[in-house]
Amino acid sequence: MITFISFIVVLGILIFIHEFGHFLVAKLSGVGVEKFSLGFGPKLLSLKKGETEYRISILPLGGYVKMVGESPDEVVSESDFKRSFTHKSVYNRALIVAAGPIMNLILAIVLLPVIYLIGVKVPAYLYRPPEVGFVSPHEAADNAGIKGGDVIESVNGKKIKDWEELLSALSSPGKPSAIELLRDGKDIKTTFIASVSPDTGGSIIGMYPPMKPVIGEVSKGYPAEEAGLKPGDVILAVNGRVITHWAELETIIHKDGTKKTFLIKRGDKQLTVNITPRYNANMKVYLVGITRLDKQIFRRYGFLGAVERGLTLAAEMTGRLFMVIKGLILGRYSLKTLGGPLMIAEVAGKAAETGLTDFLTLVAFLSLQLGIINLFPIPVLDGGHLLFFGIESISGKPLSEKFLGIAQQIGIALLIALMVFVTYNDIFRIFG
């Protein structure tokens, strides 16, 4: 029940804010609005106020604002001519259409700082001294000569007090940074250049804080569960190699799919299990299905800090979205990673159970995606209409009704095909 209610609330917020954008700018532009609907199909509830019928319809996967004279072939009375959408200038029509996705973007930009004002759970290691626990071979930190046990004292002359400041200071990939560190009581200087992540576009620094190899969760259906591993187990060794850091463990597991012997400490006992990692086509690595025990603390930020972090997160989310789209086009990511309504419902339910900030983060994340994707120049989407308005403004005349009709049909067909595909992915993910 929590999952269903959370799903309806999330969709309701996203749809309402989107359609309210169209509605508000239409009213301000002098366009008459006949219907404002959350959902499609037969109405469940309705209220008539003035000329507008406000309704909630049975299918919650969208909504619409029906404006006077919205269709070019719609017959409009002489008295309604000035209030007709079709007879407004291209500029006004474009503003009305763009207002929906823009409102989604505004909602995300407003919510993300609010989340940091309320307070968020963050990894505890971020506020520990910047001691290096592990250095990945052949990556940025290793290339700079940094070793496990080093303590980073400053970056580009700025003192570093914890891992949060260190990660922030090294967040620009490809940019040289002057690092001063302490090793065995000696001060050492080196030049550090972070590499670029092909997945996110962010920095890969190749060094980690101390992280004990303790299991936090075991994924269902993966080799670790089949081998009997449990949360709280400590990985002592793999194939006789002593493990002291979680990143070291990941490096060994991700490497190949050969059978590996794990030495486990569970309470006061030690046991040995054999596990064969399974290849994950989406992540393109071998996995056994375990995640690290990640201790977290609650952190509340001041206004300026919340705004800065909220806007930074919005930029990161936007970058990740385009990186995923690029990865899908280039074949780096499988289309099976795409999720639909069932996946949103599942995630919404978990977010609601976790707490308010996780729930609001999900709403902001989905609102940002909805706003950006809706601006893509694809028929049926708002971006498709904006493209047609742009062509109209250049040519000086509207596109033919026949062309618009065909374009809309193609757009609808693509949208239906996408919905069927992502729903299949959801069903396969749940039951497959």
Burial status of residue 330 (CB atoms within 10 A of its CB: 0-12, 13-18, 19 or more): exposed
Do both 132 and 162 map to the same domain?
A: yes
256 occurs within a structural domain? yes
Alpha carbon of residue 296 to chain centroid: 21
Q: How far is CA 19 from CA 43, 98, 196, 232, in A?
A: 17, 11, 38, 47
Residue 374 sits in the same domain as residue 418: yes
For residue 146, report the phi and psi dihedrals to the nearest 5 degrees: -80, 145
Does the residue 360 lie in any domain?
yes
How many domains does the structure of the chain reveal? 3
Query: Does the residue 83 lie in any domain?
Result: no
pLDDT for res 431: 66
Asked if residue 29 belongs to a domain, the reply is no
Quote the pLDDT of residue 129: 93
DSSP state of 398: P
Instruction: Look up residue 220 and give its two tokens.
Output: 């269902």
In a domain, 59, yes or no: no
* Cβ contact 159:153 at 8 Å: yes
The answer to whether residues 151 and 193 belong to one domain is yes
Per the document, the length of the chain is 432
Same structural domain for residues 279 and 336?
no
Question: What confidence tens digit (pLDDT) does each residue in 206-215 have?
Answer: 999 999 999 9
- Is residue 17 a part of any domain in this protein? no
- Do 276 and 309 fall into the same domain? no
User: Both tokens of residue 299?
Assistant: 């952190």
Domain of residue 195, residue span: 125-208
- 421 and 344 housed in the same domain: yes
Are residue 365 and residue 425 in the same domain, yes or no?
yes
Clarify whether residues 345 and 391 are in a common domain: yes
Our measurement of the distance from residue 128's CA atom to the centroid of its chain's CA atoms, rounded to an integer in Å, reads: 27
Beta-strand ranges (E) seen in 33-185 are 33-49, 52-67, 120-123, 134-135, 151-155, 158-159, 176-183
Q: Which residues contact 269 (CB under 8 A, 6 or more apart)?
A: none
Provide CB contacts within 8 A for 396, sequence distance 6+: none
Please indicate, yes or no, whether residues 377 and 361 belong to a single structural domain of this protein. yes
Domain boundary among 187, 208, 229: 208
Residues forming a β-bridge with 292: 215
Based on the fold, state whether residues 225 and 200 are members of the same structural domain: no
pLDDT given for residue 432 in this prediction: 57
What pTM value is reported for the model?
Answer: 0.80
DSSP for 24-43 reads: HHHHHTT--EEEEEEEEEEE
Catalytic residue set: 19
Same domain, 252 and 172: no
Tens-digit pLDDT profile for residues 9-41: 888 899 999 999 999 999 999 999 999 999 888
Q: How do the pLDDT tens digits run along the chain, 432 residues long?
A: 777 788 888 888 999 999 999 999 999 999 999 999 998 888 888 899 988 999 998 888 788 899 988 776 667 776 667 888 888 889 999 999 999 999 999 999 999 999 999 998 888 999 999 999 999 999 999 999 999 999 999 999 999 999 999 998 998 888 999 999 999 999 999 999 998 877 666 788 999 999 999 999 999 889 999 999 999 999 999 999 999 999 999 999 998 899 999 999 999 999 999 999 999 877 778 999 999 998 888 889 999 999 999 998 898 888 888 887 887 787 777 777 777 777 777 777 787 777 888 889 999 999 999 999 999 998 888 999 999 989 988 888 888 878 888 888 888 888 888 778 777 777 776 665
Measured CA to CA in angstroms, residue 291 lies from 193, 196, 247, 288, 365 at distances of 29, 24, 11, 9, 23
Q: In the listed set 174, 208, 242, which residue is the last one of a domain according to the structure?
A: 208
From 175, 195, 188, 187, select the one nearest 145 (Cα to Cα): 188
Task: Check which CATH number belongs to the domain holding 159 and give it.
Answer: 2.30.42.10
Task: Pick the last residue of a domain from 234, 262, 296.
Answer: 296
Is residue 266 in a domain? yes
DSSP one-letter string for 86-114: TTS-HHHHHHHHHHHHHHHHHHHHHHHHH
